A and B are shown apart, each in its own frame.
Chain A
């Protein structure tokens, strides 16, 4: 069975501050994929990033960056220089080989960015 834990319920920042979202996962599979999705107030779920279990290289994509550490089963996500439009609920999700793509989501972290 898989489990995703997002311990932060809500994070409030002022515009231009950086915000880091924590995600810890559990799985017995050796091959798995980790995702971050964004859910703005309008309700849709927007795919942000994906990382597979064999690639621990951390990357930056625009204002987004992620830190995948297999040793601690963590997949943290950072928004640099936050903007008001970043206000949303952010979900970390896990997909493992034995679940054929079924996403296991964390509880989500509400990010509030104020001007």
Chain B
């Protein structure tokens, strides 16, 4: 079965650079979530989209932005990168409607290293 696809899997950037992470949800899933997992920490919710509209926002820095496109894939844009942005970034998708019962299926993550 198709899973959530994230690209790239690994990314190395310098401080103050920008990065773009991409997420392709499971087919027919129209809700996408982004999470950030720092070293040794639990995943923290950043932002979510439902039907191409932002549906919820967590502790996402103003330097980050995201959007969901017409084909439901999503991109997380990160600017002015800081050392503290080094983390594993997960995208998850769930079936239609913003519902708390939906199982979120996670991609393999993008490991971002800021040097």
The answer to whether B90 and A95 touch across the interface, beta carbons within 8 angstroms, is no
**B24 CB contacts on chain A under 8 angstroms:** none
| Size class of the contact patch on chain A | 20 to 34
Residue pairs across A and B with CB atoms within 8 Å: the count is 73
**Cα distance A103–B45 in the bound complex, in angstroms:** 7
Tell me the chain A residues, 36-50 only, with Cβ under 8 Å from chain B: 37, 42-47, 50
Q: How far is the CA of A44 from the CA of B4 in the complex (A)?
A: 11
B104 & A47 in contact (Cβ 8 Å cutoff): yes
Bound: A57/B98 CA distance, A: 26
A52 interface neighbour in B94, B101, B107, B109, Cβ under 8 Å:
B101
- Residue A33 lies at the interface, judged by CB distance under 8 Å to chain B: yes
B76 within 8 Å of A (CB atoms): no
Tell me if A35 and B45 are in contact (CB < 8 A). no
Instruction: Decide if B111 touches A99 in the complex (CB within 8 Å).
Output: no
Assess whether B100 is in contact with A31, with CB atoms less than 8 Å apart.
yes
Identity of the chain B residue whose Cβ is nearest the Cβ of A104 in the assembled complex: B45
Which residues of A sit under 8 angstroms from B107, Cβ to Cβ? 44
Chain B residues proximal to chain A, CB less than 8 Å:
31, 33, 35, 41-45, 48, 50, 55-56, 58, 88, 90, 92, 94, 98-109, 111
